[in-house]
Amino acid sequence: MKLLFVADPLESFKPYKDSTFAMMREAAARGHTLLACEPRHLRWQQGGVVEASVREITLTGSTEVQAWFSVAGETTLALRDTSAVLMRKDPPFDSEFFYATHLLSQAEREGARVFNSPRALREHPEKLAILEFPQHIGPTLVTRDPSAIRAFHAEHRDIILKPLDGMGGMGIFRVGPDGLNLGSIMETLNQGGATSVMVQKYLPEIVDGDKRILLIGGVPVPYCLARIPQGSEIRGNLAAGGKGVARPLSDDDRRIAEALGPVLAARGLLLVGLDVIGSKLTEINVTSPTCFAEITDQTGFPVAKTFIDALEAALASAAMPAA
Question: Is position 55 annotated as part of the catalytic site?
Answer: no
Do the strands 223-228 and 210-216 form a parallel or antiparallel pair, or are they unpaired? antiparallel
The Cα–Cα gap between 149 and 192 comes to: 12
Instruction: Identify any residues that bridge with 210 across adjacent strands, giving them in sequence order.
Output: 227, 277
DSSP letters for 40-74: GGEE--TTS--EEEEEEEEE-S--STTTSEEEEEE
Q: Let me know the angle formed at the C-alpha of 23 by 27 and 263, rounded to the nearest 5 degrees.
A: 110
Enumerate residues 6+ apart whose C-beta is below 8 A from 230.
241, 242, 243
Question: Is position 247 annotated as part of the catalytic site?
Answer: no
Question: Is position 227 annotated as part of the catalytic site?
Answer: yes
Considering 38, 108, 253, 275, which one is annotated as catalytic? 275
**Residue closest to 4 by CA, chosen among 296, 268, 315:** 315
Question: Is position 80 annotated as part of the catalytic site?
Answer: no
Question: Is position 150 annotated as part of the catalytic site?
Answer: no
Considering 89, 113, 211, 227, which one is annotated as catalytic? 227
Considering 162, 201, 211, 280, which one is annotated as catalytic? 162
Considering 88, 201, 211, 235, which one is annotated as catalytic? 235
Question: Is position 162 annotated as part of the catalytic site?
Answer: yes
Considering 26, 55, 285, 294, which one is annotated as catalytic? 285
Considering 211, 212, 253, 294, which one is annotated as catalytic? 212
Question: Is position 283 annotated as part of the catalytic site?
Answer: yes
The Cα–Cα gap between 145 and 194 comes to: 9
Considering 18, 108, 253, 283, which one is annotated as catalytic? 283
Do the strands 2-6 and 33-37 form a parallel or antiparallel pair, or are they unpaired? parallel
Question: Is position 127 annotated as part of the catalytic site?
Answer: yes
- List active site positions: 127, 162, 212, 227, 235, 275, 283, 285
